[in-house]
Amino acid sequence: MRILKSSFAVVERRAEHAVKYFYSHLFWHNPGLRDLFPASAEDMERQRDRLFAALTHVVTHLESETLLPYLRDLGRDHRKFLVGPEHYAAVGASLLAALAQACGEAWTPATEKAWCEAYQVIADAMTAGAAASGEPPWWDAEVVRHLQYGEDIGVLTLAPRIPLPYRPGQYVSVSCDRVPATWRTYSLGNAPRPDGTVDLHVSRIEGGRLSTALVRDVLPGEVLRLGAPGGRLTLRREDRPLTLIAAGTGWAPVRALVEELVQHPPDQDVRLFVVARDAAHLYDRPLIDAHAAACGWLGVTYITPAPGQHRDEATARLATALGNRALWREQDVHLSGPAPFIEETVRLLEELGARPDRLFHDAVPVSGSLRPRPLGFGEWFLDRPSPHWHNPSGRAPGAY
């Protein structure tokens, strides 16, 4: 463990070089694999980000009981890329070459041995996860309705050709023929329906080819591919008060949780906080108000900046609203939103007395703000500083 973490600290400071070297080595020695990856430079840059984010997750969770389930889920999910057992050896050789190149003189025989063993564990877990899955690698789903809210938010209703097994609060990865070999992750915005349809809530990001296509271009009748559902933002039916907090299109999985609660009302009160950069982005407010009027157990608070104020003011207003509530230690809290928003809100809730084991959200990238040492280049590469906490990606967490 110590050797892996200390060597990765060296790699982290040369993160961009390491991932570029990895893909150059992989494609040079295995040219047939290039077709499995996005064609555009912008999409490959995001692919490099995702690779390093996954590697960072593994290293930072080496001693966590969540690591093997994460790797098995990752292997199951990679079937949609047509990844087979034969590909793991090629990836492993290129990964070790990139790590050695980035480590320089810090790459010793002991370091190489530790990484070889660690990669074998990773490959075995991913292969086992793929082999154990009885599900298809993806689901074809026809677009049956497309609603657009303003210029940058779209809600697509899809009809999978075979039933999609999922739980409210989960997400799927999505691919579209308009942007070949590109997959992005979006939350499912509804509880299961009798007709099997699902809703995707998509926020367009500047330069995001897939999010732009989904929000502005895709038409009813087109077919999208959906990866296996994932994520752990699902309800724990405990006899405790429940708080739901959603920011941006992080509202989608929370909407699915609310629908589940409406279908099976809880014994305890539920408090819902909906955060948006401005009132115009509360695109689902009529539905929320209808649920609040019909369900005496549901209380709703909308959080937006004051008129004319910067959208960041919503963060401060949420902090005030949460601070005015008590008994956080007794609450189950489900959060959904951009990674920086979740990080800030989790810290605040813990300061207010919430129990960490009762704060539920999907994984967020490791960021420098949570580390005791100074921000390294690898951390900056993973989580480039942004002046706003709002969701730039179209879903939370991690739409890339």
pLDDT in tens, 78-87: 888 888 888 8
Which pLDDT value is given to residue 25? 94
Confidence of residue 354 (pLDDT cuts 50, 70, 90): very high
Report the C-alpha gap between 146 and 205 in whole angstroms: 18
pLDDT in tens, 373-391: 333 434 433 443 333 333 3
| pLDDT mean over 281-299 | 94
Which pLDDT value is given to residue 328? 93
Residue with the bigger pLDDT between 366 and 317: it is: 317
Of 20-29, 255-264, 274-283, 361-370, the range with the lowest mean pLDDT is: 361-370
Q: Is 222 exposed, middle or buried (0-12, 13-18, 19+ CB in 10 A)?
A: middle
Residue with the bigger pLDDT between 253 and 367: it is: 253
Q: Is 149 exposed, middle or buried (0-12, 13-18, 19+ CB in 10 A)?
A: middle
**For residue 236, is pLDDT > 50?**
yes
Residue with the bigger pLDDT between 47 and 311: it is: 47
Report the C-alpha gap between 198 and 394 in whole angstroms: 16
Which pLDDT value is given to residue 4? 92
| pLDDT mean over 293-317 | 86
**For residue 332, is pLDDT > 90?**
yes
Which pLDDT value is given to residue 131? 87
Residue with the bigger pLDDT between 339 and 200: it is: 200
Residue with the bigger pLDDT between 134 and 286: it is: 286
Is the separation of the CB atoms in 161 and 170 below 8 Å?
A: no
Phi-psi map region of 292: left, alpha, beta (phi>0 left; psi -120 to 50 alpha): alpha
Nearest in space to 271 (alpha carbons), one of 250, 249, 317, 240: 240
Residue with the bigger pLDDT between 36 and 125: it is: 125
Residue 276 has, within 13 A of its CA and on its CB side, a CA count of: 17
Phi, psi (rounded to 5 degrees) for 86: -65, -20
Report the C-alpha gap between 260 and 174 in whole angstroms: 23
Of 42-51, 56-65, 149-158, 248-257, the range with the lowest mean pLDDT is: 42-51
Percent residues over pLDDT 70 in the chain: 90
| pLDDT mean over 334-344 | 90
Q: What are the structural domains, with CATH classification, of the chain?
A: 2-132 (1.10.490.10), 139-226 (2.40.30.10), 242-382 (3.40.50.80)
Phi, psi (rounded to 5 degrees) for 104: 60, -130
Mean pLDDT (the chain, rounded): 85
Which pLDDT value is given to residue 73? 85
Phi, psi (rounded to 5 degrees) for 263: -70, -35
For residue 5, CA distances in Å to 92, 114, 210, 284, 357 come to: 18, 10, 35, 45, 26
Which pLDDT value is given to residue 363? 67
Report the C-alpha gap between 134 and 280 in whole angstroms: 43
The first and second tokens of residue 71, run together, are 């790797």
Percent residues over pLDDT 90 in the chain: 52
**For residue 393, is pLDDT > 70?**
no
pLDDT in tens, 109-155: 999 999 999 999 999 999 998 888 788 889 999 999 999 988 889 99
Which pLDDT value is given to residue 162? 95
- With a CB cutoff of 8 Å and minimum separation 6, the contacts of 89 are none
Name the pairing type of β-strands 242-247 and 223-226.
Answer: unpaired
3-state secondary structure at position 362: coil
**For residue 310, is pLDDT > 60?**
yes
Is the separation of the CB atoms in 95 and 119 below 8 Å?
A: yes
Nearest in space to 190 (alpha carbons), one of 136, 262, 242, 141: 262
Which pLDDT value is given to residue 374? 37
Which pLDDT value is given to residue 238? 79
